[in-house]
Amino acid sequence: SQQGEEDPQALSIQEGENATMNCSYKTSINNLQWYRQNSGRGLVHLILIRSNEREKHSGRLRVTLDTSKKSSSLLITASRAADTASYFCATGGNMLTFGGGTRLMVKP
């Protein structure tokens, strides 16, 4: 069953702008992960945030987690055309369940 739901489904921005994607989930979690997928290719792990963490950074990525609201957000700052991809949140430990993803397009 689908655990995570990303919002929005699609996002189009100009290069240099920030992109924010949200994820909501249904059950309690140990951690939440974010992945990126370029068109028709495999997924690449971006960041893992544990249930006792509220915020985590990795380069231009910032992830927040609010377990009381069962939600997470992924912020990409100063976006680049190369950030164009689909972004997925996933929960479930070693049996990851993914949401439907957000398709991000960054226009040069």
Partner 1 sequence: ETGVTQTPRHLVMGMTNKKSLKCEQHLGHNAMYWYKQSAKKPLELMFVYNFKEQTENNSVPSRFSPECPNSSHLFLHLHTLQPEDSALYLCASSQGGPNTEAFFGQGTRLTVV
Pairing of strands 71-76, 5-7: unpaired
Contact 56, 63 (CB under 8 A): yes
Q: Decide: is 16 part of the binding site for partner 1 (CB under 8 A).
A: no
Q: Decide: is 94 part of the binding site for partner 1 (CB under 8 A).
A: yes
Closest CB to partner 1 among residues 23, 76:
23
- Residue 5 contacts by C-beta under 8 Å, 6 or more apart in sequence? 23, 24, 25, 99, 100
Q: Rule CB under 8 A: which of 44-63 touch partner 1?
A: 44-45, 48, 50
Interface contacts to partner 1, rule CB under 8 A: 2, 30-31, 33, 35, 40-45, 48, 50, 88, 90, 93-101
